Amino acid sequence: MSETIQVVCPHCDATNRVPPARLSAGPKCGRCHKALFEGAPVALDRARFDRHLSGSGLPLIVDFWAAWCGPCRAIAPIFARAAAELEPRARFIKIDVDANPELSARFGIQGIPALFCFVDGKVAAQQAGLSDPGLFRTWVDRFASARA
């Protein structure tokens, strides 16, 4: 029996089953036929985030941010670089807290940027701000390798 990992498409939100060995081979969505990984963070709203949270077998690294927030803008290129380097071992997601206040309330976010790692739909780690640019690699190494 071949093990698979569920990967939610960043374009159409369809759940795809991908063998772990094929994650790096440029898998495409079975529904929309677009790439499942593009090496960039995916901006989601509440409904789409809930689909990814409940359907993903990958760790989700999430940046809760706002356009007016200076520290959020400073972290953005670091977050984008991490997505480019660390996908497909994890999915990188951006949530605009102004457009999605219910998500901020649900996860008790009191300050931004707020960085979270979700595994199996639950918060596995979180941090306010970015004190160490290696944080994302640490989270991916810790949580993605536990799934492999």
Determine which one of 9, 12, 29, 72 is catalytic.
72
Instruction: Choose among 65, 64, 61, 51: nearest CA to 87.
Output: 61
22 alpha carbon, distance to own chain's centre? 19
72 is catalytic: yes
**Distance separating alpha carbons of residues 114 and 125, to the nearest angstrom:** 11
Instruction: Choose among 80, 103, 120, 28: nearest CA to 10.
Output: 28
9 is catalytic: no
Determine which one of 9, 12, 32, 69 is catalytic.
69
**Distance separating alpha carbons of residues 35 and 73, to the nearest angstrom:** 27
Active-site positions read: 69, 72
